[in-house]
Structure formats: structure tokens, C-alpha cells
Amino acid sequence: MASPLLQKLIVIGVGLIGGSFALALRQAGMVKHIVGIGRSQKNLQRALELGIIDEVASNPISALKDADFVLLAMPVGQTSNIMAQIAPFLGSSTIVSDVGSTKQDVILAARTHLARHLTHFVPCHPIAGTEFSGAEAASTHLFCDKHLIITPLAENDDQAIKLVSTLWQHCGAKISCMAADQHDRILAIISHLPHILAFTLMNHVRTHVEDKLEEILRFAGSSFRDCTRIASSSPEMWRDICLANQEWLLKQIDAYQNELTNVRTILANNDGEALEKAFANARQTRQQWLKSD
């Protein structure tokens, strides 16, 4: 087994993503000691029981002192506060990275609160997850064959980027680099909009059918189940993501509504030919994607 790259890893937010990162690195023999920091002592204790972390930080500040690597894995809404809290206590060689689903806001927070540490702060986003959350949901294989996007800072130390890439490769991830605004636009399209649509579908059914909800949902099949799976995702996490990526997401919602209005018009006009064409285009686009994926 390879000798550990990290003597001490600190995971702030030992949930689905932070916990899975810890499990995967431990499995790969890449880390000697893992310390967990978080809001919920219950979740941290569970992470300890599950062998995700070796220690719950009794004193987060002193825990930071000799850390090789600090992973910020809490909901993105807490990024600024946490950065401000840890900044004074970071060792000069400690590498800090995050897993936020949005990058422009995280980078803005870093420029504000980690200004003297920007060489060693590498913004990242693993495109992986499930609708479940908490340490309980963590899995060693969550990142296998999944994309890990790095949106490097001009200030970044090459060695810091290299280490972050290596760690994620040991988690099984495929590494890509791109600009933060490109990342946020792409994620608004392929992830944030679909989550909004799924949450909205559940709320539409809830508000639209009211008291007859159970009578109706009992007939719902696999299509409804799949379309709404991500509506079981963490409300807090998705609140933060949507607010952080508000500008791109609003554009996506507007464009989607236009597309939906188009198909509504076609249907209202009984235009079977145009309707079949629209469905065939959608199907073809999806089949091409699946082939190339």
C-alpha cells in the first residue's frame, strides 16, 4: 500500500461528500489520521462509530495547527463563516479545498477571508451525490468514475493543485479544470435546474391535489419516482446552492419556462406532427448523450 500522502486530514462537515472523501482516502491508504469538525455532535459521533473519522476535534482551533489538508464540506452557505473562523489558525503549508456545488461564491469568500492563503486554497467540486445526507450516507465508492472539477485560482501553487488532483484520483474521480463562471453555468444547466424542477413537481402535486394526495400518489410509477428522486435532497444544501448560483439559475428557469410554453402551445394547437418532432428531438439528444457518456 502507498505511504500516506497526508498525516492529518481535517474534514469540516462529515456528511455524504466529506465522509465519502475520508472513507475513500483511508481505503486508498492516503491518510494516517482523520479529524472531523461539524455542527452536529450526533453526526460526528456516528462518523466515529462508522470509522469515517479517527477523532472528533475537541478544540477545532488547535486541531488545525498541524493539518496537511483541510476539506470544507459543509453546505455552501456556511463557507464564509467557516473560512473566517479558520483563517487565523491555518499553517502556512496547510492545503485547503472545498466541495461546493457553486464556485464563484466560494472563490469570492476565499478572496475575502483567506486572502493570505490563496496559494494553498484550491476550489473543487465533485459531481457526485445521492438524495441522502449525513455521515450515515457516506460511501467509499461515491466518487468512482465521477467528475471532479477544479476551478483553480491564478494564485494557486502548482503543487497544491497537484496534491488535490492526486487525492481525488485516489478516490476514483476523473479530474477536469475550468473557469469558475463556466462551472457555475454548466452546473446550473445539468444539476441546479433539474433539482428545481423536481422540487417543483412534488410541490405542484402537493398543492394541486390537496387532500386526495395519497389516493393519487399510490398510482405513481417508476417515471414519477425517477423524476422526483432528487426532490428528497437536503433542503438546506439546495437553498444555499440556488442562492449562490442565483443569476445563472434564474436564466435557466426562464429559458426552461419558454421551452415549456412552446410545447404547451403545440399541444393546445393539436399539432401532433410538431409534438412528435419535439419528443423525437429530446429522445435523440438523450440517446446521443448516453452513447457518448
293 CB-contact burial (10 Å; exposed 0-12 / middle 13-18 / buried 19+): exposed
Residue from 115, 116, 176, 179 that binds a second copy (CB under 8 A)? 176
Q: Tell me which residues in 149-168 interact with a second copy (CB under 8 A).
A: 149
Selected binder of a second copy within 84, 177, 179, 217 (CB under 8 A) = 217
The residue within the footprint of a second copy, chosen from 190, 210, 211, 248 (CB under 8 A), is: 190
Contacts of a second copy in 224-243 (CB under 8 A): 224, 226-233, 235-236, 238-240, 242-243
Q: Which of residues 6-45 bind a second copy (CB under 8 A)?
A: none
Stretch that binds a second copy, among 17-25, 28-36, 78-86, 261-269 (CB under 8 A): 261-269
Residues in 103-132 at the binding interface with a second copy, rule: CB under 8 A: 127-130
Using an 8 Å Cβ cutoff, are 196 and 249 in contact?
A: yes
Comparison of 86 and 244: residue with beta carbon closer to a second copy: 244
Task: Return the range that interacts with a second copy (CB under 8 A); candidates 78-86, 91-99, 108-116, 274-282.
Answer: 274-282
Helix axes 235-244, 104-113, angle to 10 degrees: 80
For residue 135, the Cα-to-chain-centroid distance in whole angstroms is 15
How many chain residues bind a second copy (CB under 8 A)?
A: 91
For 31, list phi and psi in degrees, rounded to 5: -140, 140
Residue 250 binding a second copy, by CB under 8 A: yes
Question: SS3 of 189, please?
Answer: helix
Neighbours of 285 (CB within 10 A): 10
Contact 26, 59 (CB under 8 A): no
Strand, helix or coil for residue 51: coil
Q: Which stretch binds a second copy (CB under 8 A): 91-99, 108-116, 160-168, 275-283?
A: 275-283
Q: Give me the 50-79 binding string for a second copy, x by CB under 8 A, dash otherwise.
A: ---------------------------x--
By CB under 8 A, residue 263 contacts a second copy: yes
Cβ count within 10 A of residue 54: 17
Amino acid at 207: T
The label of the residue with cell 463563516 reads: 81
Q: Which of 147, 155, 169, 175 binds a second copy (CB under 8 A)?
A: 147
Select 50 or 178, whichever has its Cβ closest to a second copy.
178
Strands 31-37 and 174-177: unpaired
When the beta carbons of 63 and 230 are compared against a second copy, the nearer one is 230
Q: What angle do CA 152, 157, 161 make, to 5 degrees?
A: 50
